[in-house]
Structure 1
Amino acid sequence: MNDKIVKTLEFDKILHKLANHAATSLGKEWVEQLRPSSELEDVKTRLLLTDEAAAVDRLKGGAPFGGIRNIRSSLHRSRIGSILSASELLDIATTIYGGRRLARFLEGVNDQREIKALLKLSGELGDVKAVEDRIKSCISEDADVLDSASSELARIRQELRGSESRIRERLDQMIRNTSIQKMLQDNLVTLRGDRFVIPVKQEYRSQFGGIVHDQSASGATLFIEPEAVVQMNNKLRELRMKEEKEIDKILQMLSSTVAESADIMLANVEVLAELDFTFAKAGLARELKGTLPLMNDRGFLKIKKGRHPLISAEHVVPLDVELGNQFTSIIVTGPNTGGKTVSIKTIGLLSLMAMSGLFVPAEDGSQLCVFDAIYADIGDEQSIEQSLSTFSSHLTNIISILKGMTPKSLVLLDELGAGTDPAEGSALAIALLEYIHRMGCRIVATTHYSELKAYAFERKGVINASMEFDIQTIRPTYRLLVGVPGRSNAFAIAERLGLPRSIIEHARGHVGEDEARVETMIASLEANRASAEAERAHAEVARRETEQLRKQLEEQKQRFEEQRDKLLEKAENEAREAVARARREAETVLADLRRMALEAAGSVKEHRLIEARRRLDEAEPELRQKKAARPAARGGKAAVLAVGDEVRVLSLGQKGHIVDFAGEKEAVVQLGIMKMKVQRDDLERLGAAPDPVKQAQQLKASVKRTRDENVRMELDLRGSNVEEGISEVDRFLDEAFLANLGQVYIIHGKGTGVLRTGITEYLRRHKLVKSYRLGNYGEGGNGVTVVEIGH
């Protein structure tokens, strides 16, 4: 794809828009190098990356590229042994961190929306965190070398600060001296050339000893270093030189560390550049309201409501065009200023954008083709310097196109045959079109010549098109009408403008009969098209109304289901509350029964049992549906109950076993520590009396506590108050003890320390706690307490 077509179709302006969306200079470099690809798989890969980046842009509003710099120069210099500055090293560290943060961000987005291509690209980032950590341990965020970078630097700087303090103290004593104050312009200590000086009035120069380092612009003030601090300043100078030497040593060490991983980091920079470039394409897609085009390599185009991306949304007229299926050539006829040139530029520019991996401003489902080349002869390229006329200029370009085109090329020709005699120009235009058409290229050409309408009508694979013109307003609508040749609207326009009818009729008499019939046919086609579009618009309105009704029905159905779910939830809650009330009452009754049994030493009065049974009956939840009849006891008259059988007392809902019989209708049942007489038909037999041998074996069996693998090893209390936290800790320690856990972690966070103090105080008194301590490095530090449980 040559650079000329980039400028002719204004693709360079699209690249300028794209560069504005790049977050780093690395991404802008990729934009400058972007060119359309002629390989289908390459284009699909580019578009896939753009599509995934656009999805991330919609979900998260973009990706983080903060801190990423173009560090190529620094990396190359480190490889040849140069000492990098602190700011260069800091840029390298922030770039490494920015790459890791970007990779983590993409991994997080992948949980919401699959972005395989972006993850694969970010996965190519090499791990150089060790370099980042080494730099950050020595360089501050302000690009200063830290005292902690080396023990020697820390010692020197400590001595430096002590020396500076002693010099200031000595000079402060001097300027507080009343005899010296009268000689000073200001009572302050300042610096000149890294040496401490004081401002002395000019007239006291001879009385004030020392070295003059500077003077004010007026000459009234001299900045003098008193003799008393000259040696101290010299010592300070020596310390600063030592400091600089130690800093150079540290920077040399860090530069060597960078050089060891320079190749990995250079590769990382290229990955980050491509990621920034990819998200810039997503930003452009958002700006242009672009969509993902379907791509093919069989010469097929189908643009739906395509818009020229450089024309404002308020003025652009959408374009609908199909090429490469039933016909491979489109001949667009019509008057000037009707939009023919914009139409063919839109087709070419959208093709270039798609082949570059960019979304196109068109509706979903638009299809574009990967051409091996796009050629265009558009506009008046007359050159005075080359002494070429308009016709010669166009012809020169067309000859160049004919030499380079292949059957897989797209050819765009504007004003074909213009600039010469109409008869010869139209004949040459037909010959050129026929040659290119036979070659198999895809052609979109514009022309004024009416002879080409007949050529397009008669030639298979070629179709007429025109730019719509509104006769009523005498203005073009800029709509491309494929299948309808352009009309000569001269007579209609003249009549609308008020030219006498007699002149118009006289002019019509000079128009040939065949040409008049063609004009009439075109008028009929336009009328039929207008009628078809009106019917289509009516059908579209009906479709939208149907769609709206369907949506309303869906919404009503959804509301009904939501209401049903709420009613079911309410019913379940009410039933749950009723059962809970019944359970509480039953537990109260059972507790009373146990208490009565203990008080009565094993026997309970009948009237007290009747009263308890009545309370249980009242506790039973009231259900709306009709109760099912209580099933007869499994034993019934036919079943044989024996002493030792396990039974359920149906009226009480309690399990027990038969210890004796009281007549034919009653049995004595052991319920826990209590014995009571129960009607036999109120008993449900659950199982036979246990085998004595098996029972003895079960009694001898030891109970072994096993670890529950579902028990947690850590408890997160962040956000809880002290009271809630202690309650959770108590339950957690019991579960951990039963699960044989030796050590657990309680996460309380750092915060104000109130929760940590409360938990620590509680652990100190807890009987299960053997020991406890705050977390070590890697365990959470002061935000975690590690507890060892005693067994």
Structure 2
Amino acid sequence: MNKRSMRILGFYQVQHMLVRLAPSRLSKEIARRLKPVSDADVIEQQLTDTEEAVRCTQTETSTPFGGIVDIRQALEKAKREVTLDSRECIDVWNNLQHYSEISSFFADRAAEYPHLAEQAEVIGDFSQLSHSFATVFDNNHQIRDNASPQLMRLRSRIVELERQTKRYVNNVLQNKEYQKFFQDALVTVRNNRYVIPIKQEYRHAFPGIVHDTSASGSTLYIEPLAIVNANNDLQSARIEETREIERIFRRLTAKVQQQYRELYDSTLCVGQLEFIFAKAQLARQMKACRPAVSKTRQIKLIRARHPLIDAKYVVPNTIVLGGDYRILLITGSNTGGKTVSMKTLGLLVLMHQAGLFIPVEESSELPVFRDVFSDIGDEQDISQNLSTFSSHMKQLVYILKHCGPDDLILADELGSGTDPAEGSAIAIAILDSLYQKESYVMVTTHYNDLKNYAYNTPGIENGHVEFDMETLKPTYKLRIGSAGSSHAFSISERLGMPKSVLEKAKELRSKAQDMDMEKVLTQLNAQAKKLDEEQAELTYRLKEARKLEDDLRREKDKVTSKRQDIIDASRRDAVDLKRSLRVEAEKIIRELKAQTKESLSDREAAKA
């Protein structure tokens, strides 16, 4: 991908934002190497990774990232059988614990994040190695006394020797013969040996070995001869302790060496996963999303926002390029947003092809480009005696030689910096050549000849940035379908140009041949703006009508549901009433039968 375009369009600034979000040295290194690619499969994979990471950060309460250390240098030392020091061992152990958490996290969520889980499968199983470190270091990263039987014996001996040496020192301090020699009646340590602060004037009176002096020279730190042997024994035990710890570290280093390849690959894998989640964090900060891959190779960025402009001030614009036209000519006032619109397109294409989400609406589409060429800004080279026009032409010549049908070309103020008539002719010729090459092109200009060329040439479309004639300020809105005026007089008036100068300029301009066209453009754009406002109002009313229709439909459904509930309740009541009446009727019949039977019995008894 063209490095000049990456610099001019602001890709490196976005990359720097990503570097700041990356949590570790390794992930920052990956972010610094990020660049756009033109392989569609690679881009799809990178975007899918970002998409899963975004979904993960939105769904999960927390992710197991952060705290990873770049241990590659330590691994290389272990590979060369160079013993790792305490800090390096702790870093390796710390990483092993994080590797286990990350591996388990994605193994448990393979169905939700399949691409990330597949990458996390590279992380090895280091449970045994981690256990080896845990037997050496405690949770505070201090070496355990029982890291080895020999270390436990040595540390017990050191404790005993320290107690014994302190007892000898206390005996010296309590000796009444030496009391006047002491600067302070306390024990201190110099060169890992117990010493006593003695006044300078008693240097030769107190038997011992000088190890240090105070800054003023008035105090000497002397090791009494009476405790030299005890200090020697203690120092010897400490040296043995150091050697034993080094032996323990050599043992750990050997185990790291045995799993060097797995550790190295796991470290790279975790760094890559951290980088992917940094991309997700950037996407959420920008409120960005993943555009669809255009099957028709059409650019359709809906409400695209420039990611480097403060969200409070950025004006979203819809940019469409491809289909009926592959060249878009943007006109309008200076400081109106022409260049920003063009840079927005270029930067979002670069971000998309670097696997980053872009600040657009979800219905947006982008094809994959082979390269992005840009000629934006004034880069005249005094050392090579190149004027503004010459530097532009030099870059345009390069573009014409190297561009093709799968490239995006962005050119600012095409043909400017020279005689307007000649500049317009050159610009039209360049556009014609780019059209023949079937490149995708977005250019800005103030030349009316180019506006006419775009109106009269199939495959080329005009567009303009809006200018509010009431406030005499640009709105930064991009409108595709018609050319715009430069509004030089209005802008000059707003900036305080003397009226006499403006009147003279308007008089001269009125005599120009293309003055009628400027009036027509202004009228057309005013009408287009009015139509857009009316369209927006109609869209709003239609939205409200549909909302009302939905509300009425929901109310109807509620009434229907309630009516059905009433009918069902009535049916249940009728059934219950019918059952109750049947039971009551059967009871009455039984009572009548009983009465009839009793009456017959009485009659038979009377006859008898």
Question: TM > 0.5 between the two?
Answer: yes
Structure 2 match to 1:140: 138
Among 318, 332, 342, which residue is 1:334 paired with?
Answer: 332
Q: Shift of residue 544 of structure 1?
A: 4.2
Structure 1 match to 2:387: 389
The residue correspondences of 1:712-791 to structure 2 (distance < 5 A) are none
Alignment pair present for 1:235 and 2:233: yes
Distance 1:18 1:554, change over 3 A: farther
The residue correspondences of 1:391-790 to structure 2 (distance < 5 A) are 391-490=389-488, 499=499, 506-507=507-508, 509-512=510-513, 515-546=514-545, 549=548, 627=580
Distance 1:39 1:529 in 2: 40
Alignment pair present for 1:124 and 2:125: no
Distance 1:559 1:243 in 2: 83
> For 1:385, what is the secondary structure of its paired residue?
helix
Distance 1:33 1:624, change over 3 A: farther
Aligned residues: 573
Q: Shift of residue 630 of structure 1?
A: 6.1
Root-mean-square deviation (CA, aligned residues, Å) is 3.0
Distance 2:173 2:551 in 1: 88
Q: Deviations over 1:192-245 (max 9, x none)?
A: 101111112223333321111112122222211111111111111111111111
Distance 1:75 1:560 in 2: 73
Distance 1:419 1:179, change over 3 A: same
Tell me whether 149-158 or 485-494 shows the greater mean CA deviation. 485-494
> For 2:334, what is the secondary structure of its paired residue?
coil
1:277 partner letter: F
TM-score (norm 2): 0.88
Distance 1:488 1:175, change over 3 A: closer
1:533 partner letter: D
Alignment pair present for 1:66 and 2:63: no
Distance 1:135 1:551, change over 3 A: farther
The residue correspondences of 1:156-235 to structure 2 (distance < 5 A) are 156-235=154-233
Distance 2:51 2:283 in 1: 9
Q: Shift of residue 488 of structure 1?
A: 4.5
Tell me whether 464-473 or 437-446 shows the greater mean CA deviation. 464-473
Structure 2 match to 1:53: 53
Distance 1:562 1:182, change over 3 A: farther
Distance 1:543 1:146, change over 3 A: farther
Distance 1:498 1:3, change over 3 A: closer
Structure 2 match to 1:23: 23
Distance 1:241 1:429, change over 3 A: same
Distance 2:370 2:19 in 1: 25
Alignment pair present for 1:86 and 2:58: no
Structure 1 match to 2:589: none
Q: Shift of residue 424 of structure 1?
A: 0.8
Distance 1:433 1:60 in 2: 51
Among 376, 379, 393, which residue is 2:377 paired with?
Answer: 379
Tell me whether 437-446 or 186-195 shows the greater mean CA deviation. 186-195
Distance 1:138 1:632 in 2: 92
Q: Deviations over 1:681-739 (max 9, x none)?
A: xxxxxxxxxxxxxxxxxxxxxxxxxxxxxxxxxxxxxxxxxxxxxxxxxxxxxxxxxxx
> For 2:143, what is the secondary structure of its paired residue?
coil
1:281 partner letter: K
Decide whether the 8 Å contact of 1:382 with 1:388 is kept in 2: yes
Q: Which has the higher contact order (CA 8 A, sep 6+)?
A: 2
Distance 2:385 2:191 in 1: 68
Tell me whether 356-365 or 100-109 shows the greater mean CA deviation. 100-109
Alignment pair present for 1:34 and 2:18: no
Tell me whether 133-142 or 542-551 shows the greater mean CA deviation. 542-551
Q: Shift of residue 541 of structure 1?
A: 2.3
> For 1:325, what is the secondary structure of its paired residue?
coil
Alignment pair present for 1:258 and 2:251: no
Q: Deviations over 1:373-417 (max 9, x none)?
A: 000000001011111011110011111111211110000011111
Distance 2:557 2:119 in 1: 42
Distance 1:3 1:489, change over 3 A: closer
TM-score (norm 1): 0.68
Distance 1:559 1:80, change over 3 A: farther
Distance 1:494 1:53, change over 3 A: closer
Distance 1:559 1:216 in 2: 93
Structure 1 match to 2:96: 96
Distance 2:560 2:98 in 1: 48
> For 2:384, what is the secondary structure of its paired residue?
coil
Distance 1:348 1:55, change over 3 A: same
Distance 2:61 2:353 in 1: 26
Distance 1:347 1:485, change over 3 A: same
Tell which structure's C-alpha radius of gyration is larger. Answer: 1
Q: Deviations over 1:4-46 (max 9, x none)?
A: 2111111000000111111111110111111111011111111
Structure 2: runs of 5+ lacking an equivalent: 564-575, 587-596, 598-608
Decide whether the 8 Å contact of 1:63 with 1:279 is kept in 2: no
Q: Shift of residue 477 of structure 1?
A: 1.4
1:511 partner letter: A
1:528 partner letter: Q
Decide whether the 8 Å contact of 1:90 with 1:136 is kept in 2: no
Q: Shift of residue 180 of structure 1?
A: 3.0
Distance 2:130 2:279 in 1: 30
Decide whether the 8 Å contact of 1:21 with 1:283 is kept in 2: yes
Tell me whether 624-633 or 464-473 shows the greater mean CA deviation. 624-633
Decide whether the 8 Å contact of 2:331 with 2:486 is kept in 1: no
Distance 1:474 1:416 in 2: 26
Decide whether the 8 Å contact of 2:296 with 2:323 is kept in 1: no
Give the structure with the larger helix fraction. Answer: 2
Structure 2 match to 1:580: none
Decide whether the 8 Å contact of 1:410 with 1:442 is kept in 2: yes
Distance 1:165 1:560 in 2: 91
Distance 1:421 1:503, change over 3 A: closer
Distance 1:208 1:558 in 2: 106
Q: Shift of residue 284 of structure 1?
A: 0.6
Q: Deviations over 1:653-693 (max 9, x none)?
A: xxxxxxxxxxxx9xxxxxxxxxxxxxxxxxxxxxxxxxxxx
Q: Deviations over 1:108-145 (max 9, x none)?
A: 5567xx21111111122111221111112112344433
Structure 2 match to 1:278: 276
2:5 partner letter: I
Distance 1:418 1:182, change over 3 A: same
Structure 2 match to 1:583: none
Q: Shift of residue 545 of structure 1?
A: 2.8
Q: Shift of residue 556 of structure 1?
A: 7.6
Distance 1:71 1:418 in 2: 54
Q: Shift of residue 519 of structure 1?
A: 3.0
Among 346, 349, 367, which residue is 1:348 paired with?
Answer: 346
> For 2:21, what is the secondary structure of its paired residue?
coil
Decide whether the 8 Å contact of 2:213 with 2:220 is kept in 1: yes
Distance 1:130 1:397, change over 3 A: same
Decide whether the 8 Å contact of 1:377 with 1:397 is kept in 2: yes
> For 2:336, what is the secondary structure of its paired residue?
coil
Q: Shift of residue 502 of structure 1?
A: 7.9
Distance 2:578 2:382 in 1: 101
Q: Shift of residue 504 of structure 1?
A: 7.5
2:511 partner letter: H
1:24 partner letter: S
